[in-house]
Chains A and B, each alone.
Chain A
Amino acid sequence: MAYKIIASACTACAACEPECPNDAIVEKNSVYAIVTDKCTECVGHFDDPQCLAACPADSIAVDKSVPRYAA
């Protein structure tokens, strides 16, 4: 499972990009996007998902079905 960036809320500031431990964040159509296959929701890396914690615009859409949130 993976997180998703809501394109309409993304300001393309790139705060999330260097924080991702999986290099899963890429620029796409002038905003940023998460490569689904690479995203691990930071499980095993950090206590908190980094893109979510870093985003100044709170634009990361959280998929509640992922393991971290299913618990």
Chain B
Amino acid sequence: MSAPAHPSPPPPGTPRKVIAIHAAAPGAATAPGGCSSGSCGSSDGPADLPAHIWEKVKDHPCYSSEAHHHFARMHVAVAPACNIQCNYCNRKYDCANESRPGVVSEKLTPEMAGKKVLAVAAEIPQLSVVGIAGPGDALANPAKTFKTFELIQQTAPDIKLCLSTNGLALPDHVETIKKFNVDHVTITINMVDPEVGQHIYPWVFHNHKRWHGLEAAKILHERQMLGLEMLTQAGILVKVNSVLIPGINDQHLKEVNRVVKAKGAFLHNIMPLISDPAHGTHFGLTGQRGPSAAELKALQDECEGDMKLMRHCRQCRADAVGMLGEDRSQEFTSDKLGDIAATYDPTARQAYRDFVEKERADQRAAEAEQKAGLAGAHEKALVAVATKGGGRINQHFGHASEFQVYEVSAAGAKFVGHRKVEHYCAGGYEIDAAMPSILDALKDCAAVLVARIGHCPMKELKEAGIEPVQDYAHEYIEASALAWFQARLAATRPSGTARVA
């Protein structure tokens, strides 16, 4: 790859019609150089975190939103059994056309999983993390989970290991988790009150008995809290996942956020309920709706204080492979593993990591430069970006299956979420039918930054009040979004002169 170019100044802003720039709430603007919380700044860069924590998260795409531009993860589906039932999960379901947690196409033995990790590492140098996230519960299958970790440590010791659990069996396994140097654990905590929990969990299997209702939720809650405390005491980073279920735990999740933060969780990931009736889950079949993107963001914003909120979760499958938002698992089915694994060469991954280290420093410097130009500005806006990864605006509008959304303000460019859309372009043909849903997905965005865009969608975006921008093709996302915003502010202020320095 060529040396990264800093974004050039945008062309002189021509007067444009009214755009969706929202004035920030009083007091919400960050004072230049100031910071009101432990999670200051727009990115989770090294400046925001203690050095030992940054070292742990910097290459983990799930724990660092910055890392998710550069690094890939894979889940190995060695853990099919589960010890609880959740109303949003159907353990019988398995479909190759589907992408959501709890689903896999092929279950693996630990030996096959070890081989698969090598195969993926050989093909995808961005691979930095292997996680066990089911499709059941990693710790309801402790023998398979830890055997897999052991094998990976033998063959590719530089790969970080992580696991996801509902927490029920967690206190029994903290010692083993330490022993295998698993330094990231995700616990799904949907409630800290069994009264709420009884509407989410019909039963748990614990101490040789199936418990139901309130009793079940009480046991799960106590085990989750104990496990969380034990992990944080052991210095293991904990991410808490919470499924936002409107009408059941939506308001309660603020309390969950407060409690898990107090107990030392590093990151909170509030995810929307997936409740398609076709999945056959209890919530799907009883018509329980999921939250809208706006409801989700509102709750995330409310919960974001001293603790980080994860905004870049793609709710991936238990056998997902690749960068977040992409799934290359079909390239690595068991029949293909042996040949690919044989080509494994760890130096390619090391070279990639060295490259990323430089690239990220450049990106942060470019962002800081643009941020300085916005000092004192009180406006903010949402900007959508088409990207294939690497932290650059490098995707054609029509090829995007999701847009990443950044909030730009004097505080910087902050990643706030992603919007999944249908491809506008398929095999060279434009699909006009996809456009209304894309416009709807981006309706609160002031601009969409792309590598290229055709005339028709450009016109439709403009008519919808969303500015299509190609000026920053192949440049850094954060710096470009801020540069665009500066130009936009300069163009829309009454005198036409920029108040920005």
Contact = CB atoms under 8 A, between A and B. Distances in A.
Given A14-B80, A56-B85, A47 B209 contact: yes
B81 interface: yes
Contacts of A36: none
Contacts of B81: 13-15, 54, 56
Interface residues of B, number: 17
A15 B209 contact: no
18 contacts: A11-B94, A12-B80, A13-B80, A13-B136, A15-B81, A15-B82, A15-B83, A18-B143, A46-B209, A53-B208, A53-B209, A54-B83, A54-B205, A54-B210, A56-B81, A56-B82, A56-B136, A57-B92
Contacts of B92: 9, 11, 57
A48 interface: yes
Contacts of A53: 205, 208-210
Contacts of A48: 208-210
B56 interface: no
A60 B210 CA distance: 14
A11 B91 CA distance: 8
B80 A11 contact: yes
Which 7 pairs from chain A and chain B are nearest by CB? A15-B81, A13-B80, A53-B210, A13-B81, A56-B91, A46-B208, A56-B82
B140 interface: yes
A22 interface: no
B141 interface: yes
Given A12-B107, A13-B80, A15-B81, 11 more contacts: A11-B80, A13-B91, A14-B81, A18-B143, A46-B209, A53-B205, A53-B209, A53-B210, A54-B81, A54-B205, A57-B92
Q: Which of B80, B82, B143, B208 is the most central at the interface, judged by chain A CB atoms within 10 Å of its CB?
A: B208
Interface in A15-71: 15, 18-19, 46-48, 50, 53-54, 56-57
Interface of B: 80-83, 85, 91-92, 94, 107, 136, 140-141, 143, 205, 208-210
A55 to B, nearest CB: 9
A56 B85 CA distance: 7
Interface of A: 9, 11-15, 18-19, 46-48, 50, 53-54, 56-57
Nearest to A17: B81
Nearest to A19: B208
A44 to B, nearest CB: 13
A50 B207 CA distance: 10
Is chain A's interface secondary structure helix, strand, loop, or mixed overall? loop
A9 B210 CA distance: 19
A50 B209 CA distance: 7
Nearest to B93: A11
A5 to B, nearest CB: 14
Nearest to A10: B92
B208 A13 contact: no
Nearest to A30: B107
A47 B143 CA distance: 25
B470 to A, nearest CB: 49
A14 B140 CA distance: 10
Nearest to B136: A13
A47 B211 CA distance: 13
Nearest to B94: A11
Nearest to B203: A53
Nearest to B79: A13
A11 B89 CA distance: 14
Nearest to B89: A56
A15 B136 contact: yes
Contacts of B85: 56
A30 to B, nearest CB: 10
A68 B105 CA distance: 38
Contacts of A56: 81-82, 85, 91, 136
A15 B107 CA distance: 14
Contacts of A14: 80-81, 141
Nearest to B141: A14
Contacts of B80: 11-15
A38 B92 CA distance: 27
Contacts of B94: 11
Contacts of B140: 15
B173 to A, nearest CB: 14
Given A11-B91, A56-B82, A57-B91, A50 B141 contact: no
A13 B94 CA distance: 12
A24 B334 CA distance: 29
Contacts of B210: 48, 53-54
Contacts of A18: 143
A53 B209 CA distance: 6
A18 B141 CA distance: 9
A9 B92 CA distance: 8
Contacts of B83: 15, 54
A18 B208 CA distance: 11
B317 to A, nearest CB: 16
